[in-house]
């Protein structure tokens, strides 16, 4: 069983993760710049130190064992911690050292993306050596990752109002009911009543929005947790659905989609910046929040 770690053990861990990420020995040999036989020998050496088999490899292909899957997560955590330690040791004289993990939903309005970019530029002017890790997820996943500690801050619409999270509103986004080319209502869209729209199948969001008082249509035949998936179903001509007005414009310009009734079938969503509670925020997180506040308006801005 693996006891004290040596440099050779760490090198073999990196080889193992490279094989996992590549999906096999043959595909990993290019990134590792060694032969498959050398990789196989290194994996066998690691398995010998551990005392169990990490993966099946051979003519039948590459497959992690159950212990191999569990060990993969442990190995990633260890190497991430070692890399983070090295970065902090090299930059120990800096004021801010570490990692800032930011999450957003996809397709934020251009102005909001620009605002975050200005905050990043301002943050980079600090005396810092911070690695930025940015991911795009659904609001539901962002909230879960904030609660688990996998993210430091996130921008999305959050409806659970967890007592473990702190949030401030950033902007409001207009959602409009849309119809795709080929749908029976396409040629008459523009002033369709709610009653008429509700005679047709709809795609609906997967999460609850407390500020939305729009009645759900009686025939919901599809659900989607992001706007790209909803757009795909709307463009098929078989579903009606809500999309952000700024996002739908590109499809409207191509003649592929039209709003059903922009004056009547719409609702606004408030997007918030969510973090863990202030007493649990790192110094890095607090610094970035200050920079974001410095480039943000005082009141949430409507995005239509």
pLDDT tens digits, residue range 39-54?
989 999 999 888 999 9
Q: What is the pLDDT of residues 104-143, one digit of tens each?
A: 988 888 888 899 999 999 999 988 889 999 999 888 888 8
**265-278 per-residue burial string, b: 16 or more CB within 10 A, e: under 16:** bbebbbbbbbbbee
pLDDT of residue 148: 86
Q: What residue spans of 91-193 are helical by DSSP H?
A: 110-123, 139-148
Tokens 């409207």 locate to 252
Q: Which residue ranges in the chain fall short of pLDDT 50?
A: none
pLDDT at 207: 67
Q: What are the structure tokens assigned to 16, written together? A: 């193992």
Position 41 scores a pLDDT of 92
Q: Chain centroid to CA 73: how far?
A: 19
263-282 confidence digits (pLDDT tens): 999 988 888 899 988 888 88
Distances (CA, A) of 215 to 98, 193, 198, 211, 224: 46, 13, 10, 12, 18
Domains and CATH numbers, the chain: 7-90 (1.10.10.10), 96-169+270-303 (3.40.190.10), 171-269 (3.40.190.290)
Determine the Cα–Cα distance for residues 204 and 224; give it in Å rounded to an integer.
6
What pLDDT is stored for residue 82 in this prediction?
A: 81
């Amino acid at each position: 069983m693996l006891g004290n770690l040596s440099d050779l053990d760490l090198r073999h861990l990196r080889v193992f993760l490279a094989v996992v990420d590549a999906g096999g020995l043959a595909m990993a040999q290019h990134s590792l710049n060694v032969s498959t036989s050398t990789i196989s020998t290194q994996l066998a050496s690691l398995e010998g130190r551990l005392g169990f088999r990490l993966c099946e490899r051979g003519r039948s292909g590459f497959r992690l064992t159950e212990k191999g899957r569990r060990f993969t997560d442990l190995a990633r955590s260890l190497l991430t911690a070692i890399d983070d330690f090295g970065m902090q040791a090299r930059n120990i004289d800096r004021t801010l050292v570490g990692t800032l993990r930011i999450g957003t939903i996809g397709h934020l309005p251009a102005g909001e993306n620009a605002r975050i970019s200005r905050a990043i530029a301002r943050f980079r002017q600090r005396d810092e050596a911070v690695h930025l890790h940015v991911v795009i997820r659904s609001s539901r996943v962002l909230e879960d990752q904030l609660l688990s500690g996998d993210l430091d801050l996130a921008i999305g619409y959050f409806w659970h109002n967890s007592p473990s999270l702190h949030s401030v509103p950033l902007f409001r986004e207009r959602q409009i009911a849309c119809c795709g080319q080929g749908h029976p209502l396409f040629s008459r869209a523009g002033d369709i009543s709610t009653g008429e729209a509700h005679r047709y199948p709809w795609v609906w969001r997967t999460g609850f929005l407390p500020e939305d008082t729009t009645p759900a249509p009686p025939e919901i035949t599809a659900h989607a947790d992001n706007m790209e998936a909803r757009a795909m179903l709307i463009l098929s001509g078989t579903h009606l659905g809500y999309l952000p007005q700024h996002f739908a414009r590109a499809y409207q310009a191509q003649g592929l989609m039209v709003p059903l009734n922009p004056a009547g079938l719409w609702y606004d969503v408030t997007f918030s910046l969510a973090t863990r509670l202030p007493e649990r925020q790192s110094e890095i997180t607090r610094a970035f929040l200050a920079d974001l506040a410095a480039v943000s308006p005082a009141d949430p801005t409507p995005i239509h």
